Structure 1
Amino acid sequence: MPPVSSPGSLDRPAPRSAIGERAARVRFRRAMMLMLMTLVLPGSAQVVAGNRRVGWIALRTWFVVVVLLIGSLVAGLFRHGLVLDLATSTFALFWIRVALMALATGWALLFFDAWRLGQPLTLQMGHRRAAVGVNGVLALTVAGALLFGAHIVGVQRHLMLTMFDGDQVTGAHDGRFNVLLLGGDSGAGRWGLRPDSMTVASIDAETGRTVLISLPRNMEHFPFVKGSVMHQQFPHGFDADYLNGVSTWAGDNTELFPGSKNPGVDATIMAIEGITGLKINYWAMVNLEGFKDLVDAVGGVTLNVRQPIPVGGLGDDVTGYIKPGVRKLDGHDTLWFARARDDSDDYSRMARQKCVMSAMLQQISPQVAVTNFEKIAQASSAMISTDIPASEVSTFIELAMKARSQKVSTLSLVPPMIDTAHPDFPLIRAKVAQAIDRAEGSAPAPSKSPSHRSTTVTGGSIGSKSTGYAANEADDLGTAC
């Protein structure tokens, strides 16, 4: 017969080592759970096993943050301007940055307190090391993400403070904002930032539909807007230099502009208003030497290079050529695509500059802007100076977002339409008004002659000096480029 077990043998207690192992695993799971609770609901570990008052304060704070975040996202879906206002308000950005740093610090402290509540000294050495590692990773990841967010907010606030320091807000004129874009060329032996490129961006205040009106730097004998300081000095028109020389003249006669931060820009605006009949709201000066940093910051720009574009020149040797084709150019090559004049002329260069503007507008997506934000901010602060007040930045960002889905019209006041040596100013103002009316849908499109359909390429642009360049006068800049 098989041996019969003695009564009570099934109830024999487990060895103490097994009990200790199970207890150790329970303590380890409890410690890990407290840390995970802190990750999901900061303060919940303290409510369960620690200082309940601290825990409830943390939970309420977390609840308020989540409600504000969800509320902002929902509101942003229906009103983009609210999000843009927050992103451009230096006051809001300051407190958002402070809040992010406070959250990072508080959350990290809650993680360390959760580790303490897990009684690490009672854990086995392997469990203790694992708990320390997990807690450290969670604390550093969460706090690091929040601190990085605070850093980005700080970069944005610094950008707003340093770039947009204008203090005068102006409303739309006849339903449009007119912003003068100046391309400045700085270098050794040259005064300041010379506005060698002058374009008025006339933007519909409701739809964002934009007309780019470019003026040649070699225009002569032009009037200044009546009542201005420059009109008093040159009542019969500017006879001292070309249009791009107005800035230099004003810089040599700053006593005529008391209290002005930028006499050269102010004088140039007086000329642009006198020539076009448009009232300028704001201006922005782009340093072309810093432009390449912005292009590099967004990862380059894709352009249709119609013929070899020289790299170099402008008084120096040509060191190479940008080859024809649809290609993605880095900042260096994009800059030369926009400014090259060798084997070309000013009017072709103006057309290519418009193509660069169009490409930048269409290709810099919100995703690209967010992922490269710090590089873009650093490049922009070094590249752009403007009198747009910080309070108006959100308005123009929203208009730019609307403009991405619409055609951009162009008008360049160049030959053969305009003789830059003897401009017909009534004709110029009529052409400007017609271009704006067509963009607003209140005027018929011009009839196209065979010269407008020319496929001849000169200086990197469709057309020739005698027939005009497609990108210089187009109702859809994207197709002209």
Structure 2
Amino acid sequence: MSTMAPPRPTARSSAPVARKRPMRYPDASSRAVMTRRGWWLVVLNFLVPGSAQVLAGNRRLGRIGVVSTLVMWTLAIAALLSALLGRSVFLAIATNWFVLLLAQGLLIAYAVLWVVLTIDTLRLVRLVRTGTRARFGIAATSVVLLVVASGTAVHAANVAGATRDTLGAIFGASGPTVEPSDGYYNVLLLGADSGGSRDSRRFDSISVVSVNAETGATTITGFPRDMPGFPFAAGPMQDRYPNGHEGHADATCGWGSGINQLNTEVEVCQDGNLLYPDAVENGSAPGIEATKDAAEGILGIEIPYYVTIDMHAFEALIDALGGVEITVKERLAIGGPGYTGEPFEEWVEGWIEPGTQRMDGHTAQWYARSRHTTSDFDRMRRQRELQQAILAQFTPQVVLTRFQEVADAGADLVSTDVPHSFIPTLLDLALKAREQEVATIELTPDGGIDESQPDWAYIKELVRSTLHPPAPTPEG
């Protein structure tokens, strides 16, 4: 008994199949049907990559696309929920180098898959069967949607890679995160002004940033460059100067006893590596450690970390942010070196005029550094203004839209001994700090400090009462 093969479907017998599954078995003779089908396939490929293949093409390829899409959506939703419900956990994951590397690889692979699926979708559309005008619209729409979709994935991959590279370049230290001291994380912030004729960097700006470990409330304490006779915390510099720092008459070691000369003294005129043998290994330098000890001795607080900001890269960061808005109170000279007493026309490059203005990096740098028509104390005030203006402009919107520029500037801008493990805590506190006013303490005559003979006990009490104000009573 022989078996006969089923008859091949004729055009008439395949009509019901086409009506049931028009995407896979369309009426190719109808341009209207093929045009509608083409638009649907293009839209589905954009909304759920792989769905066009599941409905009308290679189901195996389609399943790969759909599963990949579901995985990416799941990861995105999980990241969003983590950011909303557990920010500290999210930041810890999002700043991990391996997670960033994995995210970069997945995003690039997904972008490539999207390109493959889009090309295959256009094949399934069969443009020659669609309407004359529609075929160009379908093709153009596919290309635009591909650029939007895969371009977004590629951009996100670049962001992940740039974040990993930037964090690796800045936070190279691998030490443990220290516990807060009296409820605060204290960081020495140094503005480094290095010149080709100098043996070492001179700190143009010295301050300590104290961040409340719970609330993120931030206080910045500024030091005058020429603060004399300062005490040191216990350590090698206190052993050398038990009665306070002494001055020098040798320019090689830094004139006078100003705190901004300390780095030059330790790096050039003393064997800093003998004083602080572990400094370089821990991501610091002897001159920086000496300055830490000086700041601790003056303020009476523990300062475990430092951050050095290169003043020349500082200009690039402000340009990367699109400038910064400052209200200028008095006319300021741009240019240098120039010294007081020299005719302005011999060195001045220009002027910063009074009024509210958006400054580029070059102008903002001179706004913070200019002192030839004012005083060091006024310059300290302007530096705090600029720091707060930059913090206010560091919004997520600005950073995301200018991410690559900010990342490139940041890699050259900052050096620090803050360990990589501290990054999530640091970012979490930075987000909290944005919601509050930044308090300032200026160790200047305006702040009640005698510039020639500072009262060290008063300074310590001022810092203590500012960081730990008395609790309000019911009577107020």
Q: TM-score, normalised by structure 1?
A: 0.82
Give the Cα–Cα distance (whole angstroms) in 2 for the partners of residues 124 and 223 of structure 1: 85
Matches within 5 A, 1:159-238: 159-168=166-175, 169-226=177-234, 228-238=235-245
Partner Cα distance (2:126, 2:355) in 1: 67
Match of 1:137 among 139, 144, 147: 144
Query: Would you say the 8 A contact 1:172–1:281 is kept in 2?
Result: no
Please name the residue that 1:437 is paired with: 468
CA distance in 2, matches of 1:428, 1:279: 15
**Secondary structure, in 3 states, of the residue corresponding to 1:292?**
helix
2:8 aligns to what? none
> What is the CA-CA distance between 1:357 and the residue it aligns to?
1.4
Answer yes or no: is 1:356 the counterpart of 2:386: yes
> 1:260 is matched with which residue?
279
Distance apart, 1:443 and its partner CA: 7.9
SS at match of 2:226: coil
Q: Render the CA deviation track for 1:13-53: whole Å, top value 9, x for unaligned.
A: xxxxxxx9952343343333322221111111221222222
Within a 5 Å distance, the mapping from 1:251-400 to structure 2 comes to 251-252=267-268, 253-256=271-274, 257-261=276-280, 262-315=285-338, 317-400=347-430
Distance 1:147 1:405 in 2: 32
Kindly provide the amino acid, as one letter, of the partner of residue 431 in structure 1: L
Aligned to 1:147: 154
- Aligned-partner Cα distance in 2 for 1:138–1:358: 41
How far apart are 1:97 and its partner, in Å? 0.6
Give % identity: 35
Q: Which amino acid aligns with 1:311?
A: I
Give yes or no for the alignment of 1:412 onto 2:442. Answer: yes
Counterpart of 2:262? 246
Shift of 1:131: 4.7
The answer to whether the 8 Å contact 2:314/2:361 transfers is yes
The separation in 2 between residues aligned to 1:89 and 1:161, in whole angstroms, is: 10
Can you list the C-alpha shifts for 1:159-187, whole angstroms capped at 9, x where unaligned? 10101112222111111000111011122
Give the distance between the partners of 1:138 and 1:367, measured in 2 at CA: 24
Q: Distance in 2 between matches of 1:271 and 1:132?
A: 68
Aligned equivalents of 1:338 and 1:388: distance in 2?
25
Give how far 1:103 is off: 0.5
Tell me the equivalent position of 2:51: 44
CA shift for structure 1 position 120: 4.8
Task: State the Cα distance separating 1:289 from its structure 2 match.
Answer: 1.9
The counterpart of 2:433, out of the listed 403, 419, 424, is 403
Residues 311 and 333, structure 1, Cα contact 8 Å, conserved in 2: yes
Contact 1:72 1:83 in 2 (8 A): yes
Q: Aligned-pair distance for 1:401?
A: 2.0
| TM-score normalised by length of structure 2 | 0.82
Name which of structure 1's ranges 75-84 and 398-407 shifts more when overlaid on structure 2: 75-84
Cα distance in 1 for residues equivalent to 2:299 and 2:186:
11
Q: In structure 2, how many angstroms separate the alpha carbons of the residues matched to 1:160 and 1:197? A: 24
Q: In 1, are the aligned partners of 2:318 and 2:361 still within 8 Å (CA)?
A: yes
Q: For 2:52 and 2:424, how far apart are their aligned partners in 1?
A: 41
Q: For residues 80 and 391 of structure 1, what CA distance do their matches in structure 2 show?
A: 15
CA RMSD, 1 decimal? 2.3
Q: Counterpart of 2:272 in structure 1: which amino acid?
A: T
Q: Matched residue pairs, number?
A: 422
- The change in CA–CA distance for 1:229 and 1:35 in structure 2 (over 3 A counts) is same
| Residues 200 and 267, structure 2, Cα contact 8 Å, conserved in 1 | no
Question: Does the 8 A contact of 1:276 with 1:428 survive in 2?
Answer: yes
Query: How far apart, CA to CA, are the structure 2 residues paired with 1:405 and 1:120?
Result: 55
| Structure 2: gaps (5+ residues) | 1-26, 249-256, 340-346
TM-fit CA distance, 1:115 = 2.0
C-alpha contact (below 8 Å) 2:32/2:131 kept by paired residues: no
Kindly state the Cα deviation for residue 248 of structure 1 after the two structures are TM-superposed: 1.2
Q: Distance in 2 between matches of 1:284 and 1:55?
A: 51
Q: Distance in 2 between matches of 1:355 and 1:141?
A: 40
What's the CA shift for 1:308?
Answer: 0.8
Q: Aligned AA for 1:247?
A: N
Query: Deviations along 1:320-350, whole A, 9 cap, x unmatched?
Result: 2211122222222211111111121111111
> Which digits, 9 at most, give the CA deviation of each residue in 1:381-421, with x for residues without a partner?
11111112222222222222222222222112223633344
AA at the equivalent of 2:59: R
Give, in whole Å, the separation in 2 of the partners of 1:150 and 1:254: 43
Aligned partner of residue 333 in structure 1, secondary structure = helix
Deviation per CA, 1:232-285, whole angstroms, max 9, x where unpaired? 333333214321121112212233132422221111111111121110131111
